[in-house]
A and B are shown apart, each in its own frame.
Chain A
Amino acid sequence: MRFLKRSYVYLIFTFLYAPIVILVIYSFNDSRSRGAWGGFTLRWYVELFQDRQIMNALYYTVAIAILASLIATLVGIAASIGIFNMKRVKRDIMVNVNYLPILNPDIVTGIALMLLFASIKLPLGFISLLLAHITFNIPYVILSIMPKLKQMNKHLYEAALDLGATPFYAFKKVIMPEIMPGVITGFLLALTLSLDDFVISFFTTGNGVTNLSITIESMARRGISPKLNALSTLMFLAVLLLLIIVNIRTSKDGNEGRSKNENIRQSSVFVSNSSHHI
C-alpha cells in the first residue's frame, strides 16, 4: 500500500516536472528539430542574450515589477493601517472593494483598465502598465499585512504613546517591526505577481513596451523556439532561488511557537493567494 502511494506521488511529480525537464534538456540541444539530440550547446543562451526584443522585455518586466511592488507596498502599509482603524461599515466597504481585483477574472480587470485609460486618453505604454500593476498588487499587499495588524496586541501602539513616543516614532519603532513579516511577504507576492503577469499587461500596454510574458506568448504563437527553452531554464532557476530564500525567511519567521505544519500552510497560502491571478 505504501509502495502504491509513493508511486502515485512520483507519477504526479513526473507529470508536473516532465515538461520543465524537457525544456531544460532541449535548451542545450544543438539541433532545431525536437525529435533528435544534436549535441550539447550553449548557443541558445548566447542568442537569448543577444535578442534585443527579449532583453527589452526583461528590462521592462523588472523595472515595472520593482516600481509597482515598491509603490504598492508603501500605499498598502498606509491603507492597511487606515482600514484597520476604521469602523465596521467603512472598513467592510474598503475590504470588499479591495477584494474585487483578486476575485475578478484577470481578463475583466485588464479590459476594465484598458477602457479607463482609453477614456482618459492616456496612451498605452509604460505609465499605463505601471498603474495597472500597482492596482492589482496593492490588494495582495493589504491582504498580507492585515492579519499581522489583527494579531498585534492592540495596546502596543498606545503603550508607546503612553511612554512618550510621538505617533510617528511609535509607528516606526513599534508598529513597523510587528507588521514587517507581512510587509515583506506582501512585497514578494506583489513582485512575483508582477513579474509573471500576462493577461492584465496584455491589455494595458502598447507603443512597443512589452514584458517577458507578452514576448513569450507572441514567440510561442509563432512556433517553438530554442531561445524560449533557454529562457525557461533560466527563469526556472530564478524561481527556485527565490523560493529557497522565501522559504528560509518564512521558516525563520515561524520558528517561534509555530508548528511545521503551520509553516507549510503559510507557504501554500502564499501560493493559493495568487490562484486567481493567472
Chain B
Amino acid sequence: MKRQWIAYPYAVWMVIFIVVPLFLILFFSVTETTSEGISFTTRHFQKFLDPIYIDVLVRSVLLALYSTIICLLLGYPFALVLAGKSFKRKNVIVMLTVIPMWMNFLLRTYSWMTLLERNGPLNSILSALSLPNLNILYTESAVVLGMVYNFLPFMILPIYSVVSRLDDSLVEAAQDLGSNELTVFKRVILPLSLPGVLSGITMVFMPAVTTFVISRLLGGAQFMLIGNLIERQFLSSGDWGFGSALSIILMLIILLSMGVMSKYEREYGGGGLL
C-alpha cells in the first residue's frame, strides 16, 4: 500500500477550494481597488476600530459567553445524572438528548419564534396560570435562549462521554479512603471531568460566537452580531474588503479561544471528544 498518489486529486481540490479561498479573504482584507488599480491598505481593519463595530464584537462575545455558562450550568448536572445509575436504559436517554440536534437547525430556531410569540403558546399557558406574560422575542434574551437550546447537547455529550468512562473503582476507592459524597465529587469526579467540560465549552462557544442565523431569526432584522455584520458586508453593503477583514478577525478569535482551550486541555490531561 505504498501508493500516495490517489490522494493527489484531493490535494489539488484542497488547494483550490480550501487554501486559495482563505488567501482570497486575506487578499481582500488588505487591498482596495481604486481607479489606479489594486493597492495595499489597512483601511478595512482600521474601520473596525469604530466603537459601533467594537460594540458588535463585544456583544457577540458576551452573548456567546452567557450561553456557554448557562449551557454548562444546565448541562453538567444533566451529564452527571446521565452517567450515574438513575436510568437503566442509558443509551435510550442519550439518544433522546441527541435527537433534537438532528432536526433542521433553522426549524429548531423557528420553533422558538412560534413559542415566544406575543400570543403564542407560552404566553397562553402563562395567562392560564395567571402569571405575567413573557415578551422576549427580538431581544438579547431570545438570542441567548436560542443559543442555549441549540447548543446544550454539545455541552452535555462530551461531559457525559468523559464521566461515563470514569472507572467506578475510582469513586469506590475514594469512598473507601473516607470521602463523603461531596468530597468524592470535589476531589475525584470534578477534576477528572474537566477535559469533557473543556470540550463542551469549546463546542458551545465556537458556534455561538459565529452564528448569524439565531440572531437573525430571534433577534430581529436589526440585531447585530459579528456574523450578521459580515453577512451584511457581502450581501447588502457590498464592502468586501471590510467583510473580509471582519472574517479574519473572527478567525483570529476562534484560533485564540482554541489555543486557550488546548492549553487548558493539556494541563488537565486532555481526553475530551475533540
Q: When each residue 114-143 of chain A gets 1 if its CB lies under 8 Å from chain B and 0 otherwise, what string results?
A: 111001000000000001000100100000
B149/A112 in contact, CB under 8 A:
no
A221/B217 in contact, CB under 8 A:
yes
- Tell me if B115 counts as interface (CB < 8 A to partner A): yes
B158/A23 in contact, CB under 8 A:
no
B8/A82 in contact, CB under 8 A:
yes
Cα distance, A198 to B100, chains bound together (Å): 17
A138/B13 in contact, CB under 8 A:
yes
A244 to chain B, nearest CB (A): 9
B272 to chain A, nearest CB (A): 9
Chain B contacts with A in 228-250, Cβ cutoff 8 A: 230-231, 234-235, 240, 243-244, 247, 250
B201 to chain A, nearest CB (A): 12
B86/A9 in contact, CB under 8 A:
yes
B contacts, CB < 8 Å to A: 1-11, 13-14, 16-22, 24-25, 28, 74, 77-78, 81-82, 84, 86-87, 90-91, 93-115, 117, 119-121, 123-124, 149-150, 152-154, 157-158, 160-161, 164-165, 199, 203, 206-207, 210-213, 216-217, 221, 227, 230-231, 234-235, 240, 243-244, 247, 250-251, 254, 258, 273-274
Cα distance, A146 to B192, chains bound together (Å): 28
A243 to chain B, nearest CB (A): 6
Write out the residue numbers on chain A whose beta carbons fall within 8 Å of the beta carbon of B152. 12, 15-16
- Tell me if A224 counts as interface (CB < 8 A to partner B): yes
- Tell me if A20 counts as interface (CB < 8 A to partner B): yes
B114/A19 in contact, CB under 8 A:
yes
A271/B101 in contact, CB under 8 A:
yes
* A34 touching B117 in the complex, CB below 8 Å, given contacts A115-B240, A217-B217: yes
B77 to chain A, nearest CB (A): 6
- Tell me if A275 counts as interface (CB < 8 A to partner B): yes
Within 8 Å by CB of A216, from B100, B104, B114, lies B104
A266 to chain B, nearest CB (A): 10
B77/A8 in contact, CB under 8 A:
yes
* A111 touching B25 in the complex, CB below 8 Å, given contacts A78-B9, A235-B103, A243-B95: yes
B117/A213 in contact, CB under 8 A:
no
Cα distance, A161 to B11, chains bound together (Å): 27
- Tell me if A33 counts as interface (CB < 8 A to partner B): yes
- Tell me if A228 counts as interface (CB < 8 A to partner B): yes
B110/A228 in contact, CB under 8 A:
yes
Task: Give the top 5 A-B pairs by smallest Cβ distance, nearest first.
Answer: A82-B7, A112-B21, A19-B111, A105-B210, A79-B10
Q: When each residue 43-59 of chain A gets 1 if its CB lies under 8 Å from chain B and 0 otherwise, what string results?
A: 00000000000000000
Q: When each residue 159-192 of chain A gets 1 if its CB lies under 8 Å from chain B and 0 otherwise, what string results?
A: 0000000010000000100000000000000001
Q: Which A residue's beta carbon lies closest to that of B157?
A: A268
- Tell me if A199 counts as interface (CB < 8 A to partner B): yes
Q: Which A residue's beta carbon lies closest to that of B274?
A: A272
Write out the residue numbers on chain A whose beta carbons fall within 8 Å of the beta carbon of B221. 221
* A264 touching B164 in the complex, CB below 8 Å, given contacts A19-B111, A101-B18, A108-B250: yes
B220 to chain A, nearest CB (A): 10
The total number of A-B Cβ pairs within 8 Å is 278
A85/B78 in contact, CB under 8 A:
no
Q: Which B residue's beta carbon lies closest to that of A18?
A: B115
B156 to chain A, nearest CB (A): 8
A114 to chain B, nearest CB (A): 7
A89 to chain B, nearest CB (A): 12
B13/A9 in contact, CB under 8 A:
no
Cα distance, A131 to B18, chains bound together (Å): 11
Write out the residue numbers on chain A whose beta carbons fall within 8 Å of the beta carbon of B212. 107, 199
- Tell me if A239 counts as interface (CB < 8 A to partner B): yes
Write out the residue numbers on chain A whose beta carbons fall within 8 Å of the beta carbon of B97. 13, 16
A271/B10 in contact, CB under 8 A:
no
Within 8 Å by CB of B207, from A6, A84, A247, A275, lies A275
A83/B165 in contact, CB under 8 A:
no
Within 8 Å by CB of A103, from B74, B114, B254, lies B254
B124 to chain A, nearest CB (A): 5
* A260 touching B210 in the complex, CB below 8 Å, given contacts A271-B157, A278-B105: no
Q: Can you spell out 21 A-B residue pairs with CB atoms less than 8 angstroms apart?
A: A6-B87, A9-B86, A16-B152, A23-B111, A34-B114, A79-B9, A81-B3, A82-B6, A104-B22, A104-B251, A105-B254, A107-B230, A111-B244, A112-B21, A112-B24, A116-B20, A235-B103, A264-B164, A278-B150, A278-B207, A278-B213
A86 to chain B, nearest CB (A): 5
* A213 touching B3 in the complex, CB below 8 Å, given contacts A15-B149, A23-B114, A108-B250: no
B7/A86 in contact, CB under 8 A:
yes
A263/B5 in contact, CB under 8 A:
no
Q: Which A residue's beta carbon lies closest to that of B21?
A: A112
B234/A111 in contact, CB under 8 A:
yes
* A239 touching B207 in the complex, CB below 8 Å, given contacts A34-B119, A261-B164, A269-B273: no
A221/B216 in contact, CB under 8 A:
yes
A8/B243 in contact, CB under 8 A:
no
Within 8 Å by CB of B107, from A106, A111, A232, A242, lies A232
Write out the residue numbers on chain B whose beta carbons fall within 8 Å of the beta carbon of A216. 104, 106-107, 110
B86/A2 in contact, CB under 8 A:
yes
